[in-house]
């Protein structure tokens, strides 16, 4: 134990050349990054990019083909038990006992950890609007997700590892959850948060790592990324509009004006100018949806694969 203490590093996560092959599939190819104390690191990538594989490696659930992962200086494979004491983990698909209530889950986990976190669990459950008295088999997907969050944060761990934690949560609950994360980092805790939605990560992350086809293609500070996220805009007006009314806004692409309707894509940095042009007319319907991350990869990180290149050609 004393030896373990001495080897502990202040870095919550250090990944070095982490590679995982499943037969012929290279799920992860030499991924490396370091998480700083007090930081929220958003781990972004489209479906199948390798996010869950990275997290399962980090939690010592699967063994790397090569490379290694450390949590506070501990080897996640060889010292998994010690690592689990320091980490609150929300898996992509929470595994809960269907017959037990939320409260019984809290008590059971407390028993395993040798500590009573009931009071904190109750507070977090209340904030997220979760009824701890219900058996988990009767809970909706969103409520099961809330319970997984309660179980991960109740022991106030120094590192939270969250695999798409807000999928299934409504926006108000997401906001409360993000507030919880901010409190966690204000107390010196760190967070690794995986997601395929840039907008979500933008709200909470300090830095973002982008993974695509198993490779880490970018690590950026959030401040450098803002302005890059692409939005799809669709507006319908009471009267006919002309293309000239919307021309010359920097960054706007695919502008189509047809009678009383407008469609285009625009980076965040163009939204203010574009909205001012839109609001110069009488609007009867308006939609602004953030583009999927795949499109952002095409725009900012290139598209090496054939499929991505085809989409790029179709779009141009």
Ligand X SMILES: Nc1ncnc2c1ncn2[C@@H]1O[C@H](COP(=O)(O)OP(=O)(O)OP(=O)(O)O)[C@@H](O)[C@H]1O
β-pairing verdict for 25-35 and 13-22? antiparallel
* Least distance (Å) between residue 15 CB and ligand X: 14
* Least distance (Å) between residue 49 CB and ligand X: 4
Number of residues that bind ligand X (CB under 6 A): 13
Interface pick for ligand X out of 29, 41, 53, 153 (rule CB under 6 A): 53
| E-assigned strand segments in 7-109 | 13-22, 25-35, 40-44, 66-71, 74-75, 87-90
Sheet harboring 215-221: ordered strands across? 87-90, 159-163, 190-195, 40-44, 207-212, 215-221
Rounded Cα distance, 51 and 110, in Å: 29
Residues 6+ apart with CB under 8 A from 197: 290, 293
Residues 6+ apart with CB under 8 A from 308: 294, 297, 298
Q: Per-residue x/- marks for ligand X, 128-167, CB under 6 A?
A: ----------------------------------------
Interface pick for ligand X out of 13, 18, 40, 49 (rule CB under 6 A): 49
Piece in contact with ligand X (CB under 6 A), picked from 19-27, 32-40, 227-235, 274-282: 19-27
By the rule CB under 6 A, 57 interacts with ligand X: no
**Cβ closest to ligand X, residue 23 vs residue 99:** 23
Coil vs helix vs strand at 193: strand
Q: Per-residue x/- marks for ligand X, 80-109, CB under 6 A?
A: ------------x-----------------
Neighbours of 48 (CB within 10 A): 14
Interface pick for ligand X out of 4, 9, 22, 250 (rule CB under 6 A): 22
Rounded Cα distance, 168 and 187, in Å: 27
Residues 132, 121 contacting (CB under 8 angstroms): yes
Rounded Cα distance, 196 and 208, in Å: 12
Rounded Cα distance, 73 and 132, in Å: 35
Residues 6+ apart with CB under 8 A from 110: 116, 117, 118, 154
**Cβ closest to ligand X, residue 27 vs residue 262:** 27
* Least distance (Å) between residue 76 CB and ligand X: 16
* Least distance (Å) between residue 258 CB and ligand X: 35
By the rule CB under 6 A, 212 interacts with ligand X: no
By the rule CB under 6 A, 51 interacts with ligand X: yes
**Cβ closest to ligand X, residue 18 vs residue 235:** 18
* Least distance (Å) between residue 37 CB and ligand X: 25
Neighbours of 58 (CB within 10 A): 24
Interface pick for ligand X out of 32, 37, 38, 48 (rule CB under 6 A): 48
By the rule CB under 6 A, 37 interacts with ligand X: no
Piece in contact with ligand X (CB under 6 A), picked from 41-49, 75-83, 150-158, 266-274: 41-49
Q: Which residues bind ligand X (CB under 6 A)?
A: 22, 25, 27, 45, 47-53, 92, 196
């Amino acid at each position: 134990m004393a030896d373990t203490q001495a080897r502990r590093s202040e870095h919550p996560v250090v990944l070095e050349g982490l590679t995982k092959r499943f037969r012929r599939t290279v799920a992860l190819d030499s991924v490396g990054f370091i998480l700083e104390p007090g930081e929220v690191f958003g781990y972004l990538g489209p479906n199948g990019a390798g996010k869950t594989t990275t997290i399962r490696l980090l939690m010592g659930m699967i063994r790397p083909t090569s490379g290694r992962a450390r949590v506070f200086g501990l080897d996640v494979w060889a010292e998994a038990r010690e690592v689990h004491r320091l980490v609150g983990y929300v898996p992509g698909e929470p595994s809960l006992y269907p017959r037990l209530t939320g409260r019984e889950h809290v008590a059971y986990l407390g028993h395993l950890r040798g500590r009573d976190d009931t009071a904190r669990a109750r507070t977090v459950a209340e904030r997220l609007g979760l009824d701890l008295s219900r058996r988990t088999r009767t809970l909706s997907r969103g409520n099961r997700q809330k319970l997984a969050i309660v179980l991960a944060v109740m022991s106030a761990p120094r590192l939270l590892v969250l695999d798409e934690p807000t999928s299934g949560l409504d926006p108000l609950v997401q906001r409360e959850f993000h507030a919880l994360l901010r409190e966690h980092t204000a107390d010196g805790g760190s967070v690794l948060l995986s997601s395929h939605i840039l907008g979500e990560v933008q709200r909470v992350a300090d830095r973002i790592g982008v993974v695509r086809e198993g490779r880490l293609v970018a690590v950026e500070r959030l401040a450098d990324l803002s302005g890059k996220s692409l939005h799809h805009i669709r507006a319908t007006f009471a009267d006919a509009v002309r293309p000239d009314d919307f021309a010359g806004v920097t960054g706007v692409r695919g502008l189509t004006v047809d009678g009383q309707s407008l469609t285009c894509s625009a980076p965040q940095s163009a939204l203010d100018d574009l909205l001012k042009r839109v609001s110069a007319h009488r609007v009867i319907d308006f939609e602004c949806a953030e583009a999927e991350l795949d499109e952002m990869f095409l725009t900012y990180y290139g598209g090496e694969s054939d499929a991505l290149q085809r989409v790029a050609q179709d779009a141009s």
